[in-house]
Structure 1
Amino acid sequence: MPLPRPLTCALLLTLIAGAIAPDATAAKKKSAKSKTSAVAAPAACTDFHAYANASWLKSNTLLPDVSSLSAMEQLGDHARQQQIDLLNAAMTAPQGNVQKLLGDFWASGLDEAAVERDGANPVAPLLGRINAIRKAGDVSAAIAALHQVGIPVVFNFGADVDLNDLNRHIGYFSQGGLGLPDPAYYTRSDADTRRLLGQYNGYVQKILVLTGTPAEKAAAEAQQVIDLETRIAQASRPLPDLRNPRTNYAPVAVDGLAKSYRKLQLAEFLKAQGVNDDVVSIANPQLFAQLDKLVGTLKPAQWKTYLRWRVGDAMAPYMARAWRDANFDFRGRVLAGQVAPPSRQQLVLDAINLAAGPMLGREYVARYLPAGTRSGAEDIAASVLHALDAAVTTDARLGDAARNEAKAKLARLKIEIGAPHRDLDYTIQPMGRGSFGSNMLIASTWHHREEMKRIGRGNADRRWDVLPQQPALAYDIAGNRLIVTAAVLQPPVFDAGSDRAAQYGSFGALVGRELSHAIDAKGRLVDAKAELRDWWTPSETSAWESLGSRIAAQYSAYPDPVAGSRVQGNLVREVALADQAGVELAWNAFNTAQPSPSKEARQAFFAGWAHLWPQQVTREVAAQRATSSVYAPGQWRTNGPLYNLAAFGDAYGCKAGAAMQAKADQRILLWPAAMPVVTPAKK
């Protein structure tokens, strides 16, 4: 419902979740030291993933209706339950204004009887505004008003990074306004597409009737909607063309919009959204010229029908059962292939995260992120960043200019843990518990208002593109910052009760793999001044490609026993390189923080890494991932990086040439000159 993000994020934000989760029945687990202090069994040198995760693999078998299970999925489940617990507490005994808002929102959504009694009341004011349209000027004003409440109609508009100045956001006008996910659905003539269009037509009719269309006119009005959307689709670009952020960026001066789009009134649109900036992006001016023409030439009655449909479609999941059923029958069953709708509790939680996610995130951080956990994570992240800086100093692949650029970039890199540094304005209309649909619109209006504040100079770090209650650990390329959400700082990513060695092996390695993106094949596209340019030479690019080819060959030799095939090394190579970088950097940082670590501490470090990746999948899921996923199976995400480290063999007594220990001339290391020589602590 609110604010789809422009596709510029595909280049500028690399949000790679490093999240995993504990066994739900063993949240209070023993420390990593107690699990790994015994003399290693030969299995550790054969398959460390199976050895270190034996307990998890034994206690987490797949149920008949579950196709995959992993530590990452468990952490997501755990974070969702924490949010539910928080909302239940806010509903019964709110602490402060934000909790009062959240508690009322939650209570109104859980009260299904009240939702049924509410009927179409939540959208009545919006429909009244639409039904009052008489002329073209009324159409453009109605479009702006619906965007204000978080219902994007006709086109999309959102804040994103200015590709010419990464320190600011600008507004992006982009294609949208369609009820089907692909513009091609409106123009293809094959049988499957025609069948889908017929089902879509039936859905549009159901929603129009619910918004007030007489049943005998529903078919004709649905065709009006599809006719208008077809005109929009014909001027829209194919989806593959939207994948290149540069082709979706075309800055234009705001002061020329009124003349260029007289009927659409884009200048007035910006004022209505509270945007006061001198430039916006319009990457498809032909589309907006067509929209401008349509506003001036189509009869107001057709626009009224279309806008009523868009309101009904957007709000249907949050309304009475007739609305929800119609929505799920098409969007759930037909488009998404879902068998059953989400539970009431899940539907309401998703709605709150969509419209009031930052509010929930604020309270989540206060409830679930202890100060000691935050400070411990900050210390480890800072030490890993220092290790990366030291590794760059000895990186033989980089020339002097690239090395200096990398070090300058790392010197400016920011680490943000828990929640964004800049908070939001939580001034909002009171919600109450009477109407879930109305509360959705209130929250969505607030969300849109705060999103629009991102537009302007100096606002690039205003907030994250992930919520604090969502497990994520990521490097933001545009902002040159490490983002660590509160939800990810839980076992086994960060177990406050475990050994420091295990924390470095899990959290530290994930930090290292994300920080490596600041100077890798993606990070090289943005320099220390946050300018888009490639600061590598051809020889440095060639050296990286050579390293990538070696690690791709290593992973291509690994079997995927569940899928019955081999890992596709070229598919997983970039993630494999990042994993290798992460373990190396965390190991270096750990040995700097704790010189001459004991054997038990060294084993705890490597066990911490392994505990991130246990998983169970069906053969069908494994086969699908084998040909499409950039992530290797959990077994090889554990074993691949460790195989290349002599320190792992030393910790577990693995001989060179064993399954878990490469011979010296076969090791693949990103920074061999920076790897510490470990002197075990004396007994």
Structure 2
Amino acid sequence: MKWPAAAGVLFLIAGVAGAAEGGQHGVQLGDIDHKTEPCSDFYAYANGNWRAQNPIPASMTRWSRRWAASEANKDRLKVILEAAAATRAQHGSIAQLTGDFYASCMDEARVEDLGIKPLQPLLTEISHIRDSAGLQREMQKLHAMGVIAPFNLYGLSDDRNPDDVIVQIDAAGLGLPDRDYYFKAEDRFQQARSRYLAHVQRMFELAGYAAGDAKAAAQAVMKMETSLAQHSLDNVALRDPKSTDHKLTFAQLTQLMPNFDWPQYYSASKLPRGELNVAQPELMKEIDRQLAATPLADWKIYLSWHLLRSAAPSLSKPFVQEDFAFNAAFLKGVQEMKPRWKQCAESADALFGEAVGKIYVERYFPPQAKARVQEMVENLRLAMRETLRDLQWMSASTKQRALEKLATFRPKVGYPDKWLDYSGVRVSRDSYWDNVVAGRQFNVRDNWSSVGKPLDRERWGITTPTSDAYYHPLLNEIVFPAGILQPPAFDLAASDAVNYGAIGVVIGHEISHGFDDQGAQYDAHGRLKNWWSDADLKAFQARTACVVEQFEGYFIEPGIHHNGKLVLGESIGDLAGARIAYRALQISRRGKAPLPTIDGFTPEQQFFISWGQFRGDETRPETARSMVQGAPHPVAKYRVIGPLSNLPEFQQAFQCKTGAPMVRPAAQRCEVW
């Protein structure tokens, strides 16, 4: 791929920092709060000054240099999309697809004029359903356009044989964030239920229902969803892959749900009737029971509601504003909507990510960046290999299997080698919602078409401009898109200590997911299969219990603390990521001159400050409460102080005294990897 000269622009937003010999800079000096001792509160020390000077924008839930960089990616997408929209490109080309999609989204006058009209044919269709067979046909039709209720069906690798892509049937169809919102007695959950009822009623009123009918419809939705929630697993149970591993034949699926016409659903979806997995059988039984017991009128209201909530962000202002008022303002504390262009850019990336991403990397991701990150990945793998080799608590036989698993890790950096072909998608400038449907239908068909075929390991599960990364346990791969490979995570102009402290810890974090409480249940071939001896597994679980206990003690406000079991995997990732990234930094210097001190900070200090500056988000209280309830990641403060307080290397780097807040007592210190 050819790279234009403009690609270097991506790396010019790091800010001002001192420079070492050769031009490489160190940490962000102006971000540091020198009034705070690093051994007392490293989260406040590393970038407390930046947070004080950069309050959370009204349209955001969290804010830090990392989130600012993620939003800057949207500015680049805007340049790409506006250029495409300004031309009339050849039909079927990437420029035509992305340009017409963006133009239809930005045509607010047209969107406002249409109002709910684009959705009306589907709502009318639902209202005319006459029997259960018609209801089930409508469910399949809605699923094919990404409206997933009351369950979700998609293609994914088989937990027991990852090279086979099978049908996975999972929970969906709740309008509140998770099952516990329907039952917990605390005031914030009761308030959420009350606000949700009002929200559903208001959306039905916007769709043309009289106030009394809309109120009755909201009550019907809440009743159905509460019953579905009652038969759903909670967030902690869902973290154990064994709890969602229920392999069935097609015949067994029809026996599990005798009231559902699975042959018709599969035929309409063009799915092969092979083996499949049902993540939550009890929920599917409840859906089947409700097909027989719940009045058809309530089912039609339920489907209408989930169509409305799915479409609302793509309709006229009253729907967009009501959706924002509940899902963003109330649940997360966001104060205002993002500008229209940014919403349109995010939508284009979500639906046509590889079309937009292909242009993104051509303009903004130079080959030298990919090469340097690939080198870092290899050093991180070597650090993990040496860590595993040196373990004292793991037997030789289990250690060998762990090393075999690490050897099969497949890293993906920057962008796919093979891009999706969108040439068959029909997009015009007439109706934004219709274009959203076209994009959703393409993505659903693309996914369903993978079922029954050999796994395509070249596919990515994240778009190129996304500022994030992931580990896939079934594919045993770690993925770092171009969108995260920019300051403050990665900067070609930064010292190795700074880069290893930021993107290096992220790389180590993703590698360690292969050996966290979930990933450790998958073997070198990505199979859900035990590879541990009984004694080693017991020792591993004792070590992870330390992390659970540590995070149970972290409160975001009085009375609300983290659920240690919910955040266990991500907290293991942060702890191991910091440890092995630090080791990888030392590996990178073997045979080379020592790294320099920059601006008075040693390389070791730069490493840890870099992590604090990359990870140090300010978070809205409402968002923090939502995260504690349902997110697998801890809030940023504890992603900084949690892992570092366990590391002797951190204590040594800042000469922290025993008993300092950032130094956990030796008897309580957690070490997994």
Give the TM-score of the pair, scaled to structure 1.
0.76
The alpha-carbon distance between structure 1 residues 31 and 85, as it changes in their structure 2 partners (threshold 3 A), is: farther
**1:412 maps to what in 2?**
408
Amino acid at match of 2:649: N
Which residue number in structure 1 is paired with residue 84 of structure 2?
90
1:613 aligns with 2:612: yes
Report SS of the residue matched to 2:153. strand
The residue number in structure 1 matching 2:101 is 105
Corresponding residue SS for 1:427? coil
1:192-225 CA distances to partner (integer Å, 9 max, x unpaired)? Answer: 9887666555544444454455667545555555
Q: CA distance change for structure 1 residues 31 and 560 in 2, over 3 Å: closer, same or farther?
A: farther
Q: Secondary structure at the match of 1:577?
A: helix
Q: SS state of the match for residue 138, structure 1?
A: helix
Change in 2 beyond 3 A, CA 1:541/1:343: same
- The aligned residue for residue 165 of structure 1 is 161
Structure 2 residue aligned with 1:355, among 351, 355, 358? Answer: 351
Q: Name the structure 2 match of 1:61.
A: 52
Change (3 A) 1:610 1:279: same
Residue 403, structure 1, aligned to residue 394, structure 2: no
Identify if the C-alpha distance between structure 1 residues 302 and 372 changes in structure 2 by more than 3 Å, giving closer, same or farther: same
Q: Is the 8 A contact 1:609 1:638 kept in 2?
A: no
Q: In the alignment, which of 415, 425, 445 is matched to residue 441 of structure 2?
A: 445
Name the CA shift for 1:177/1:530 in 2 (closer, same or farther; >3 Å).
closer
Aligned pair 1:310/2:306, yes or no?
yes
> Cα deviation per residue 1:84-105 (whole Å; 9 max; x = unaligned)?
3332333235888223222222
Report percent identity of matched pairs.
22
Structure-1 residue corresponding to 2:131: 135
Tell me the residue number matched to 1:10. none
2:71 pairs with one of 67, 77, 80: 77
State whether structure 2 residue 576 is matched by structure 1 residue 578: yes
In 2: Cα distance, 1:621 partner to 1:300 partner: 37
Task: Give distance in 2, aligned partners of 1:101 and 1:626.
Answer: 36
Equivalent residue, structure 2, for 1:479: 475
- The aligned residue for residue 644 of structure 1 is 649
621-630 or 479-488, larger mean C-alpha shift: 621-630
Shift of 1:315: 0.9
Equivalent residues of 2:377, 2:411 under 8 A apart: yes
Structure 1 portions without partners, runs of 5+: 1-21, 38-42, 673-683
Could you give the per-residue CA deviations for residues 233-257 of structure 1, whole angstroms, max 9, x where no partner exists?
5655566654543233322112454
Following superposition, the deviation at residue 405 of structure 1 comes to 0.9
Which SS does the other structure have where 2:352 is aligned? helix
How far 1:273 sits from its partner (Å)?
2.6
Q: Compared with structure 1, are the counterparts of its residues 429 and 93 closer, same or farther at alpha carbon in structure 2 (3 Å cutoff)? A: same
Contact 2:41–2:661 (Cα < 8 Å) also in 1: no
Distance 2:437 2:405 in 1: 42
Which secondary structure state, in structure 2, belongs to the residue aligned with residue 644 of structure 1? helix
TM-score in terms of structure 2 length: 0.77
2:486 alignment partner AA:
Q
CA 1:468–1:23: 2 relative to 1, 3 Å: closer
Determine the C-alpha separation between the residues in 2 that align with 1:621 and 1:175: 25
| Contact kept? 1:52, 1:607, Cα under 8 Å | no
Query: Is 1:458 equivalent to 2:454 in the alignment?
Result: yes
Match of 1:382 among 378, 383, 404: 378
Cα pair 2:152 2:172 within 8 Å, conserved: yes
Check whether the contact 1:211–1:308 (CA below 8 A) recurs between aligned residues.
Answer: no
Alignment of 1:122-521 (within 5 A): 122-182=118-178, 200-211=196-207, 213=209, 217-219=213-215, 225=221, 229=225, 232=228, 236=232, 242-257=238-253, 261=257, 263-285=259-281, 287-292=283-288, 294-295=290-291, 301-459=297-455, 461=457, 463-500=459-496, 502-519=498-515
Residue 612 of structure 2 aligns to a residue whose secondary structure is: coil
Distance 1:297 1:562 in 2: 43
Greater mean deviation of Cα atoms: 506-515 or 623-632: 623-632
Provide the C-alpha distance between the structure 2 equivalents of 1:219 and 1:659, rounded to a whole number of angstroms. 56
**Residue-by-residue CA offset, 1:416-458 (whole Å, 9 max, x unaligned):** 1113455323134321222211111111111212222343353
CA RMSD between the two structures? 5.1
> Secondary structure of the equivalent of 1:170?
strand
| Contact in 1 for aligned 2:507/2:577 (Cα 8 Å) | no
SS in 1 for 2:611: coil
- Residue 403 (structure 1) shift: 2.3
- Aligned pair count reads 638
| Deviation, structure 1 residue 608 | 4.6
Q: Sort the Cα spacing of 1:207 and 1:402 in 2 relative to 1 into closer, same or farther, 3 A.
A: same
